[in-house]
């Protein structure tokens, strides 16, 4: 979707972008290994995206 907007914030956040991508990679690996978790994975992905958007907005307007 809006991967260009998200990638602009990663250099400022430093290691957080690496940790988030590492966790997401492990989660997606689990969901690909166990297909019954695919539906839960979609729901979790939506919550993660909403959380990332709120964190970015809080970081932008919190300065």
| Per-residue model confidence (pLDDT) at position 37 | 66
| pTM check: above 0.75 | no
Residue-level pLDDT at 21: 78
CA distance 49 to 13: 17
Q: Please give the pLDDT value at position 14.
A: 63
How high is the pLDDT of residue 44? 82
Mean pLDDT by 10 residues, the chain (63 residues): 50 67 76 68 84 88 74
3-state DSSP of 12-42: HHCHHHHHHHHHHHHHHHHHHHCHHHHHHHH
Domain boundaries, the chain: 16-62
């Amino acid at each position: 979707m809006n991967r260009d907007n998200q990638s602009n914030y990663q250099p400022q956040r430093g290691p957080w972008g690496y940790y988030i991508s590492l966790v997401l990679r492990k989660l997606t690996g689990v969901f690909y290994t166990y297909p019954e978790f695919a539906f839960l994975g979609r729901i979790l992905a939506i919550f993660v995206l909403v959380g990332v958007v709120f964190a970015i907005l809080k970081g932008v307007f919190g300065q």
